[in-house]
Amino acid sequence: MPYKRTQVLVCAGTGCTIGNSGALIEEFEKEIKSMGLDKEIEVLRTGCLGLCGAGPNISIYPDNIIYKGVKKEDVKEIVQEHLYKGRPVERLMLNESDQETNEIHDISHTRFYQKQQRVALHNCGIIDPENIEEYIGQDGYFALGKVLSQMTPQDVIDIIKESGLRGRGGGGFPTGMKWQFAYNEPGDEKYVICNADEGDPGAFMDRSILEGNPHSVIEAMVIAGYAIGAHYGYIYIRAEYPIAVERLKTAIAQAKELGLLGTNIFDSGFDFDLEIRLGAGAFVCGEETALIQSIEGERGMPVSKPPFPAHKGVWGKPTIINNVETYANIAQIILNGADWFRSIGTESSPGTKVFALGGKITNTGLVEVPMGTTLREVIYEIGGGCPNHKQFKAVQTGGPSGGCLTEEQLDTPIGFDELVKLGSMMGSGGMIVLDEDNCMVDVARFYMDFIVDESCGKCTPCRVGTKRMLELLEQICDGQGTMETLDELETLAKTIQDTALCGLGQSAPNPVLSTIHQFRDEYLAHIIDKRCPAGVCKKLLRYEINKDECRKCGLCARQCPVGAISGKIGKEAFEIDPEKCIRCGLCMKACHFKVIERK
């Protein structure tokens, strides 16, 4: 039978691959064969469906049913019940069904997907990323065909300008304008770079796009090359993304074979080729000037701007550098028009944004929403809120360059300018949810620790200054902080912002300033009361035995690894010596009468 009646798409994104979705593919093939269905049903791999936390996930067409958390043992049941008899296995289904009629709702009407709109992630989870024909089947490379056969370079730049597309790599710089600068430069040796460094801890938007829809980036880079007059491109990607790198290699090879990369594409006389450059995964190499250095084979250290890359970039030639997600929007804008793109999102931030939801959130994973959606909708309706009935405390956006937003700010519509106004930023799309168990001073310390590790060391404010900031934060966490420490922290932060050479240093103080601004109380609790309200900062924890309630059994003393507990069995209530105590918590677990408290 030439056409299959059913297709089983197994997620082969990094998240689900770690959950061993590879074994599911084999198991499905085996079971399908044993039921004699292999001529009717096909098993394929696809990209991220977004529900990575619940993975491995699979999707079944034409029924449009998603099964989550599928184990090898479940495969037989799915094949026998669903694929053979047409009865979906409800216990594994993401789809919700109607309480009364039992009718299974379409996947797009589930709480997780309802408010999402997939533009940059379109095709992810629907096509096989290792098959260029599936991409073409979804109108892939038709934007390139249109550009090369009907449009001048300036037409292309104009439509991108009109669309209002802004860079998704963090800064939000208007993409069309950037292309115009490079176009205006004379000469015909120019370059197109794709920034796939994605160094922000917790972020995996770009990786998922490259794994699930690699051709969208390749197609856009060729279009960009035509627009600015470049014939060569680099995709700079970290070596820690092996699946994405492999998919890209496959995609590039397939595009070359079909002549969608190479010489005289679409018989237009236009040539374009590209190569992958692997980065070692330093955060600073995501900064554009450092990235260019790295491509040239130098150490990845930033240089001062101007000159901007559009003027003097890689090999000293005009260069545009855009983020993966930025490119993933290009072909759609060309095919559907600037007005279509503007109809999504807000006036100042058109289109959608992909976020990697993580931290204390029920649905960890990848979501794409129109700009203007509120943080509350993303966190509660799509993300399902904090698990275990914990109280939401803050959401961190923008990673090590961003800041925290509080409960009161959750109704803010998402947009580049809106988030900056509140002292955070869009960043590349990491969104970490924090609950009552997170200490905000500790969060600031975490990001500063990351920065100290990642600072390239070229300029003093960042190399020395961030280290000093980290020390001050550690003092506060350890209960050694005073009000002067806090003042010093703020002064230092402002100095670094003003004097560091590159964006890494300039934005490094943001998480500290934002948490001081939003959660001053917590800083004061550490400094004045020597208390960590969330119970995270170990040195500030105190274990105390309630003397009146103690049954004098001595169990705790026996557990204590450092002999910090003294008393007389049956005679004298036991007591903890805070000087000796190393806050391991063993005594609290040991006490049957629950009379030991942590404060």
Partner 1 sequence: MKSLDELKKIREQAKERMAVRGQEGQEYRVVVGMATCGIAAGARPVLNTFVQEVAKEHLPVTVMQTGCIGMCALEPIVEVFDKDNQKTTYVLIDEKKAKDIVLRHLMHGEVIDEYTVGHYSK
Ligand X SMILES: Cc1cc2nc3c(=O)[nH]c(=O)nc-3n(C[C@H](O)[C@H](O)[C@H](O)COP(=O)(O)O)c2cc1C
Judged by the rule CB under 8 A, the positions of this chain that interact with partner 1 are: 1-7, 40, 61-64, 84-87, 126-127, 133-134, 136-139, 141-142, 145, 149, 258-260, 265-267
Give 196's strand partners.
237
- When binding is defined by CB under 6 A, the residue of 458, 470, 486, 493 that contacts ligand SF4 is 458
Q: Which of 322, 363 has the CB closer to ligand X?
A: 322
If the CB atoms of residues 85 and 571 are measured against partner 1, the closer one turns out to be 85
Cis peptide, bond prior to residue 56, ω within 30 of zero: yes
Please identify which residue in 293, 363, 424, 428 interacts with ligand X, judged by CB under 6 A. 428
Q: Order the strands of the 319-323 sheet from edge to edge.
A: 262-265, 270-279, 232-238, 191-196, 319-323
Taking the C-alpha atoms of residue 507 and residue 505, their distance in angstroms, rounded to an integer, is 5
**Residue nearest to ligand SF4 according to CB distances in the complex:** 505
Q: In whole angstroms, what is the distance from residue 458 CA to residue 595 CA? A: 54
Q: What CA–CA distances, in Å, run from 392 to 139, 236, 511?
A: 42, 37, 18
Tokens of 462: 């960042």
Site string for ligand FES, 46-65 (x = CB under 6 A): --xxxxx--x-x--------
Count of residues interacting with ligand X (CB under 6 A): 23
Give the angle 127-351-156 at the CA atoms, nearest 5°: 85
16 binds ligand FES (CB under 6 A): yes
- Residue 197 makes contact with ligand X by CB under 6 A: yes
Q: Tokens for 101? A: 């009629």
Instruction: Give CA angle at 576 (570, 581), nearest 5°.
Output: 140
CA distances from residue 288 to 241, 314, 355, 398 in whole angstroms, order as listed:
19, 10, 22, 17
Toward ligand FES, which CB reaches closer, 122 or 458?
122
Name the one range near ligand X by CB under 6 A: 73-81, 272-280, 286-294, 455-463. 286-294
Candidates 181-189, 224-232, 346-354, 458-466 — which segment interacts with ligand SF4 by CB under 6 A? 458-466
Comparing CA positions, the residue from 194, 106, 143 lying closest to residue 333 is 143
Q: Tell me how far, at minimum, the Cβ of 197 lies from ligand X, in Å.
A: 4
Nearer to ligand X, 15 or 402 (CB): 402
Query: Considering CB distances under 5 to 8 angstroms, the limit depending on partner class, which of ligand X, ligand FES, ligand SF4, none binds residue 456?
Result: ligand SF4
CB closer to ligand FES, 51 vs 492: 51
| Residue whose entry in the numeric block shows the structure tokens 């044993």 | 34
Using the minimum distance from each CB to ligand FES, give the nearer residue, 240 or 544. Answer: 240
Minimum distance of partner 1 from residue 290's CB (angstroms): 36
From 121, 504, 525, 537, residue interacting with ligand SF4 (rule: CB under 6 A): 504
Site string for ligand SF4, 313-352 (x = CB under 6 A): ----------------------------------------
With CA atoms as reference, report the closest residue to 545 among 557, 535, 533, 536.
557
Asked if 116 touches ligand FES (CB under 6 A), the answer is: no
Q: Does 591 help bind ligand SF4 (rule: CB under 6 A)?
A: yes
In angstroms, the CA 518 to CA 522 distance is 9
Instruction: Based on the shown chain and the rule CB under 6 A, indicate whether residue 168 belongs to the binding site for ligand X.
Output: yes
Do 4 and 42 touch, CB atoms closer than 8 A? yes
| CB burial string 35-56: b at 16+ within 10 A, e below | eebeeebbbbbbbbbbbbbbbb
Q: Among 262, 457, 467, 487, which residue interacts with ligand SF4 (rule: CB under 6 A)? A: 457
Rounded to 5°, the CA angle 335-140-59 comes to 115
Q: Does 383 bind ligand FES (CB under 6 A)?
A: no
**581: contact with ligand SF4 by CB under 6 A:** yes
Does 25 interact with ligand FES (rule: CB under 6 A)? no
Q: Smallest distance from the beta carbon of 324 to ligand SF4, in angstroms?
A: 22
Question: Is residue 92 a contact point for ligand FES (CB under 6 A)?
Answer: no
Q: Considering Cα of 169, then 173, then 176, then 178, what sign does the dihedral take?
A: negative
Residue 46 pairs with which residues in a beta bridge? 11
| Closest alpha carbon to 217 in 336, 315, 135, 280 | 135
Owner of token pair 């959750």: 410
Q: Which residues bind ligand SF4 (CB under 6 A)?
A: 284, 302, 455-459, 462-463, 500-502, 504-505, 543, 545, 550-556, 559-560, 562, 564-565, 574, 576, 581-587, 590-591, 593, 595-596
Q: Which residues bind ligand FES (CB under 6 A)?
A: 11, 13-16, 48-52, 55, 57, 365-366
